[in-house]
Structure 1
């Protein structure tokens, strides 16, 4: 069990690298149009400063800085006159960045945005949706993967699927380094996320201490985020970041060969001899030498008879909607899972809109996940799942809403509110994962969550219409979810359900 838990903890930390690495590898650096006066060394006037040349070449943008997508057709020398008026500026003809872009490489030496993209496009207005589109394609892979790999793991076992998924993620992640264009890059990321869904499905640990185990996994998701922020601060090249992520999954792939196959799956599939060998091997590792003598097929079958009988019963997703009680419970949990993941991924995948120092913000976010995981272990002893989840969701929504209402100049306050919102999100993540396992069909609800995560970056594309609209939507969904939670049943202290009948008996 220790080996399983340690592998799951390493996987949780590595998954945070994989999912959130595009906060840095696909960061949009500061940029402006290429202009002859500034960027053609032979034509730079010696008697003018770079600031003056920039003022006559690039119009100011919405934030009063040089516009990122436009330039003047001709140098506006009259703007150097101290008496120049706004009329002079409004009458000046502008054009898009037809000669390309100049990037600020003080923060990132290279990113996907500056290199792996359709050659006719730069990071301007025309393709502001490329980054969220790529993220949506990546997260859509988890939806496809959960369907395909769910069936494959039932047929071929958990262990081979786990090993294959880790190898697939490692290979496809390192392959993005040589992706010739944005389309190929998105295809590779899609295949990576298909493997990610397999890791989520096959690496689940069920113990009698499920609350403690889940909070440990959440905490290590936070540890991975802190490590990602530190590594990204040290390594400013996106290719090196992708290589590091790939190495992590190669390590898990090697470890997976020492993990035992699920004895429960082997018994259900009728492979009793292999199940007995796996259990004896685990017993030997745990120091239970007497198990070699006392553990027999007869003992195994007598202890697993109920699970074998329940596994042979045929149920489908439709059974969750036949009984009124299960139908309403499932619909409410679907709504909560969908709304939460849609908002959660919209926030954690767009750090550049929450604060200027995304490295520090990523470390803070990870620290909040870690601390929330530790704190919730104690909260579960005194409060029910509904109370904690509803409170965390409404606080997350209010914190994110306040972050958008605070002026850009008050960066410290904005970061503080973003970190508070992330801490509440971390608490909600643990509650929802645990709630799903305790209340209804976890796999079905996981698919709904993954669908919400895939749609999340698409909501962010509305930023081009109204900059604050995506975060207003995210905050509203958090608050709406908190209003649904009180109508869910409390599951604290109940046994984990294995069948539809168990759900009806709750």
Structure 2
């Protein structure tokens, strides 16, 4: 008899669990907005070198704006490159007035149309405000030589997520899940709204940990997958908010301020009874269990479940908790070392490939808002497919297939011409769907591979590797300046390495049999 059996006695997945999971999942709508916000707050608008007094200088040359237009005048100051487009990072040292009345397509067809000397932008840049009104890129000129700083802003943000997961994860073990989650909501709402800077979502790991504490073992696969749909739907919400609020500061506040509401209703949450018992607070744990029983329509269990009954159910876990387990225990024995190293590779690669695809939406040549909707929508069928595959094919096969398919699609896209944008977008969407399904699978798979006494430590270790992968993903995008296909080679190669991980062998087929039960054993 364990704690999961006690949950079954007070209603299993009843009314309380439904409310609890829903309230904890709602913030997931904006967690996606936080993680993918950089696509819009750091979007790169169309730009070219700023030309002071370009029109007046044209009039001095007797070139009428009414006759040729502003675009043609700019041709006298800015070279044509990458097809019939103005150069983004250079301008002529001296105006080439003979180009002002020449058709742009003619200039682009003749690379040596002029051998005039060029220079870098000396007076800043002029930005196209059609797609974005303002981003951190246009505000701080993070283009040309400073373009890598745009990608680094996302890496820094993910570094904050990693730091928050480590710090708050440890504090939640000491002070409780509920108190740390409440504080994280308040901190994010306050700092994000007041500063309108890219915040750190410190509640990520605590949110996932707290959400399953009151869920019976047999329903966690379904609950874990279905609650992840909130994160998916949040990607669609982000696209809508970004489309309406095209100023990065307003968008930043819009995705942070709702956390004040989450902070207010989070006081309704119940602390983990398991955590309370393990921390010698059995009487308080009993009150929460009685509360769950009443909400689930099981008032008779209030009398049946006494302090002695609770402690008898938790006896094994209490005894196990007297031994302190560290990250070293994940590597101490050959079996645990093999499992941990393989999971490290899979978590890193899944997150690495996922954010590599999800954070590079502008390269598809269509509206970034539309692409965000499509990328978000594909997660729904992908996760449903993953849920069905987990039930019928098992964790091991599903995990490997998701990674192999993601890698194959990423590699295939390398050989598709940039002119075939529809095909490139379709392949990228499919690749993102498979990485999303892989995320769904690996979260459940990890909890089942580790024994109960090491589960929290193992999940924390695995989550850390995922955060490192999400930090590395945007940095790799900088490599496209050396070779456009290089980031895809790195992302795809990482997924192949993870798919061939030896954890997907006979040693990982029946974790419950080896470790004495599933998550709640």
Task: Give TM-score, length-normalised by structure 2.
Answer: 0.87
- Residue 180 of structure 1 aligns with which residue? none
What root-mean-square deviation, in Å, do the aligned CA atoms of Structure 1 and Structure 2 show?
2.5
- The structure 2 residue matched to 1:19, chosen from 35, 46, 54, is 35
Q: Is the alpha carbon distance of 1:224 and 1:491 closer, same or farther for their aligned partners in structure 2, counting shifts above 3 Å? A: farther
Q: Does 1:394 align with 2:404?
A: yes
- Unpaired segments of 5 or more residues in structure 2? 1-16, 451-457
- The Cα shift of 1:201 comes to 4.4
Separation in 2 of the partners of 1:355 and 1:481?
31
- Residue 369 of structure 2 aligns with which residue? 359
- Residue 476 of structure 1 aligns with which residue? 493
- Residue 216 of structure 2 aligns with which residue? 207
Separation in 2 of the partners of 1:431 and 1:490?
17
Separation in 2 of the partners of 1:151 and 1:125?
41
Q: Does 1:226 align with 2:226?
A: no
- Residue 173 of structure 2 aligns with which residue? 154
**CA contact 1:393–1:478 (8 Å) conserved in 2:** yes
- Residue 369 of structure 1 aligns with which residue? 379
- The structure 2 residue matched to 1:170, chosen from 189, 211, 223, is 189
Q: Does 1:2 align with 2:18?
A: yes
**CA contact 2:338–2:503 (8 Å) conserved in 1:** no
**CA contact 1:30–1:104 (8 Å) conserved in 2:** yes
- The structure 1 residue matched to 2:153, chosen from 94, 111, 134, is 134
Q: Is the alpha carbon distance of 1:170 and 1:136 closer, same or farther for their aligned partners in structure 2, counting shifts above 3 Å? A: same
- The structure 1 residue matched to 2:436, chosen from 402, 426, 437, is 426
Separation in 1 of the partners of 2:510 and 2:333?
24
- Residue 271 of structure 2 aligns with which residue? 261
Separation in 1 of the partners of 2:405 and 2:57?
54
- The structure 2 residue matched to 1:68, chosen from 71, 82, 88, is 88
Q: Is the alpha carbon distance of 1:436 and 1:39 closer, same or farther for their aligned partners in structure 2, counting shifts above 3 Å? A: farther
> Structure 1, residues 476-500: CA drift from partner, whole Å, max 9, x if none?
2112211216644576675499x8x
Q: Does 1:416 align with 2:426?
A: yes
Q: Is the alpha carbon distance of 1:143 and 1:496 closer, same or farther for their aligned partners in structure 2, counting shifts above 3 Å? A: farther
Q: Is the alpha carbon distance of 1:202 and 1:416 closer, same or farther for their aligned partners in structure 2, counting shifts above 3 Å? A: same
> Structure 1, residues 54-102: CA drift from partner, whole Å, max 9, x if none?
222211233541111111111112334679754342x211111111111
- Residue 227 of structure 2 aligns with which residue? 217
**CA contact 2:449–2:511 (8 Å) conserved in 1:** no
- The Cα shift of 1:200 comes to 4.1
SS, match of residue 48 in structure 2: strand
**CA contact 1:69–1:96 (8 Å) conserved in 2:** yes
- The structure 1 residue matched to 2:260, chosen from 233, 247, 250, is 250
Q: Does 1:447 align with 2:464?
A: yes
Separation in 2 of the partners of 1:40 and 1:142?
50
**CA contact 1:24–1:238 (8 Å) conserved in 2:** yes
Separation in 1 of the partners of 2:422 and 2:230?
26
- The Cα shift of 1:274 comes to 1.0
- Residue 297 of structure 2 aligns with which residue? 287
- The structure 1 residue matched to 2:97, chosen from 47, 57, 77, is 77
- The structure 2 residue matched to 1:107, chosen from 106, 109, 131, is 131
Separation in 1 of the partners of 2:377 and 2:269?
30
Separation in 1 of the partners of 2:367 and 2:225?
28
- The structure 2 residue matched to 1:339, chosen from 326, 349, 359, is 349
- The Cα shift of 1:404 comes to 3.4
- The structure 2 residue matched to 1:313, chosen from 318, 323, 326, is 323
Q: Is the alpha carbon distance of 1:106 and 1:297 closer, same or farther for their aligned partners in structure 2, counting shifts above 3 Å? A: same
- The Cα shift of 1:193 comes to 3.1
Q: Is the alpha carbon distance of 1:197 and 1:140 closer, same or farther for their aligned partners in structure 2, counting shifts above 3 Å? A: farther
Task: Give TM-score, length-normalised by structure 1.
Answer: 0.89
**CA contact 1:70–1:97 (8 Å) conserved in 2:** yes
- Unpaired segments of 5 or more residues in structure 1? 178-184
Separation in 2 of the partners of 1:27 and 1:39?
29
> Structure 1, residues 363-403: CA drift from partner, whole Å, max 9, x if none?
11111111222222222221011211111111111222223
SS, match of residue 346 in structure 2: helix
- Residue 182 of structure 1 aligns with which residue? none
Q: Is the alpha carbon distance of 1:283 and 1:472 closer, same or farther for their aligned partners in structure 2, counting shifts above 3 Å? A: same
SS, match of residue 461 in structure 1: helix
Q: Does 1:302 align with 2:321?
A: no
- Residue 288 of structure 2 aligns with which residue? 278
**CA contact 1:58–1:66 (8 Å) conserved in 2:** yes
Separation in 2 of the partners of 1:106 and 1:459?
28
SS, match of residue 80 in structure 2: coil
SS, match of residue 257 in structure 2: helix
> Structure 1, residues 329-383: CA drift from partner, whole Å, max 9, x if none?
2111111111221222121122112442211111111111112222222222210
**CA contact 2:343–2:503 (8 Å) conserved in 1:** no
Q: Is the alpha carbon distance of 1:496 and 1:96 closer, same or farther for their aligned partners in structure 2, counting shifts above 3 Å? A: farther
- The structure 2 residue matched to 1:57, chosen from 77, 82, 93, is 77
**CA contact 1:20–1:349 (8 Å) conserved in 2:** yes
Work out the number of aligned pairs and report it: 485
Q: Does 1:465 align with 2:499?
A: no
